Structure 1
Amino acid sequence: MAGLREGLPSEALLTDPDITASYRTDMASFCPAGDPAVVVVPRTVEQVQHVMRTASALRVPVVPQGARTGLSGAANATDGCVVLSLARMDRVLEIDPVNRIAVVEPGVVNATLSRTLAEQGLYYPPDPSSWEQCTIGGNIGTGSGGLCCVKYGVTAEYVLGLEVVLADGRLISTGRRTAKGVAGYDLTRLFVGSEGSLGIVVRAVLALRPKPNPALVLAAEFPSGAAACDAVCRIMESGLVPSLLELMDNTTIGAVNAMAQMGLPDSTQALLLAAFDTPDARDRLAEVGRLCLAAGATEVVPADDAAESEMLLQARRLSLVALETLGTTMIDDVCVPRARLGELIDGVAGIAERVGLTIGVCAHAGDGNTHPVVVFDADDPDQARRARESFDEIMALGLELGGTITGEHGVGVLKKEWLARELGPEVLELQRGIKRVFDPLNLLNPGKVF
């Protein structure tokens, strides 16, 4: 503690046990967490370097954190660690409309950045459902996606360059500020999705796009998840490029209605939301409507204006929060090829019936990225056992269908065993070797990912 105090202002060190305890976990269930020795909340790069130099000298583990909205336990503390919260490093340092880049600190909240950019006619597309709380640093750490990925892509595609503090306190720069650049290995992409296990991101250069038109949304009701997934395949095969293509099942619709009185059609079995942000959006929505009807939609309702469209998008953003009101949740993050999305939806329904638990499904359907949410009573040991069993069965199903155990939430603690199954021993050992190069003492977020 004395070593930390030498290079930090007093307000950057949190030692009250009641306060430090609030930094123990992110939002994932079934993930072990320890008690941090101290929480550090730096405001400068130099303060982060001081923390890492001190921790390296004393061989103390460091767990980096953002807003702790993660869903895999990647931000969970370990006993005796230094929790390094980057939430106060929250400045937008530069916006360059000519080169279409922004330079930001890791604690900038996603929605705050989006609103700041909108004032200048610019757009940062990655938009996780938790965008009102999650930070850019956390998004980079987990390689986050969002609702608009079907058209605009994921976080990794927008991170051009990084400044990173390594485990021994050295500061390095990766990547570029230019539109193109292939000099050397792509270390920037290596850090994206590394869950704080290779270094501490303290600054990011982000690619921007021109601000699009306000999206218009169409809602299509289906008698089954399979029919909705058939519509997704038809839409993607047609060559249409929606800015959003999202799915909510009956359980999710009911939870959103109960929590927020959104007036969604809770009698339908699946609701598909499609959006376009182009000048010809109404024409494109009409095409989507025809494809949905051909796939068996019982009702197709295009929004009248941007306000009604935003209401529908808000309903989708509330999906995970609404399901949490039903009980304790385990949120899966299985991504499969789009053509096999229907098989995954049906398989999850079968698992729910077999284990006797509620499992709601919302999905970035245009990407094949599903979020089955297992709801259970955490105080009931049998329900907790069945919840974990169903979670594992869903991941196994995803791999069987040619998918991956995580599309955007990361591995953290929750999916370490499944990462080994997906990668295989040879690839896993190569990745562990990369970890040793950057962090030979295993001080950065130990026990996560591997």
Structure 2
Amino acid sequence: MPLKLTVIGLGYLGATHAAAMAELGFDVLGLDIDQTKTDLLATGRTPMFEPGLEDLLARHVAGIEGSSGRLRFTASWEEVAEFGDVHFVCVNTPQKHGEYACDMSYVDSAVSMLAPHLRRPTLVVGKSTVPVGSAARLASMLRELAPAGDEVQLAWNPEFLREGFAVDDTLHPDRIVVGVDDERAEALLREVYAKPVSEGTPFVVADYPTAELVKTAANAFLATKISFINAMAEVCEAAGGDVATLAEAIGHDDRIGRKFLRAGIGFGGGCLPKDIRAFMARAGELGADQALTFLREVDSVNMRRRTHMVELAREALGGGFLGRRIAVLGATFKPDSDDVRDSPALNVAGQIQLQGGQVTVYDPKGIDNARRLFPTLGYAPTALDAVRGADAVLHLTEWQEFRELDPAALAEVAGQRHILDGRNTLDPAVWRKAGWTYRAMGRPTA
């Protein structure tokens, strides 16, 4: 009999995973405690923007004309337990309020709600990003609470999704990591991921702690690489160098590589910032805090970039924001997403507003989420409307739409022609030709 899968938690990770597992040919039952979310997904729509995800849902959600019907949703823990051979736990692990540590309450709650209904051999698979040591604790919780006892196994299978590419990252991952303590768990996960493995995706088998560490280590490395090039941008500012040329030069070294070497206002989102902080907190609990002290400077460099962009904008306006109009292009923390969690763009916009600036924001997909988070900022329906009458324009999220803007058309409606490129993706020559004063981070002479 083919395996039946469940997905618990239908946020960004869970909704994508559920749809992708249906695409791989499995019958899937999704559960979320938020009825509004499951009702929306049942119509083939998503509460977040992710390219390709709604198309995938439409192909598989039961009740949609022409779909495979392999994907359904429920609010019943008992139904999930009876249905599934493999249960994927995809709930959120946010940063604790007022602390660096990870909040495990959602994961603990999901396991404690599911376990009492597990009356037959089954596999529970954690996909959430958790502090190392969590899997062993949760495995004990399952054995204690589940009627099937030792017949209920746990595996840890960290996710490596990039927002904007999540569907492809799930269907064609660059690696699959599984933390297991039993060959049967490994065999079940090999069956789940048989198709991507047959296409050449590496399948890495590890113990629980190593599997948990893979995701946090990967995110810590990427955050370090971003902050490194931003630290070099600070040096370039002081020395009169050009960080874009510097990045290109060192990126040709295949030991370094070119990815994540674009200097700018730094990283944000729901993963990198909270994951490196939780990693530091957990290392301290384990008595290995000195091993990760460098991450404090990584975090510090990252947060400094936001303040530096505010300073560059103030300098462009002659020393102050009071009564000045500022257009901000970008609200999301990255392009091809509507995610504004810990968005550097909105942080900069908020700082300028607090200092007296009249800020108007435009983003192709993130306006609604931004308005909920920063209701006092101004918002515009187009880039042209945002720029109209502005004394300075800040490019803070690298959407393709912004790279294709016509600087001459914007120049006709702008109050003053100051463009500050916080992502180093605009062409200085094109903007200067249209009469703009161009300034980028780490490129004082560009």
TM-score by length of 2: 0.28
RCO higher in structure (CA 8 A, sep ≥6): 1
Name the structure with the higher strand share.
Answer: 1
Q: Could you tell me the TM-score, scaled by structure 1's length?
A: 0.28
Name which one, 1 or 2, has greater alpha-carbon Rg: 2
Larger % of helix: which? Answer: 2
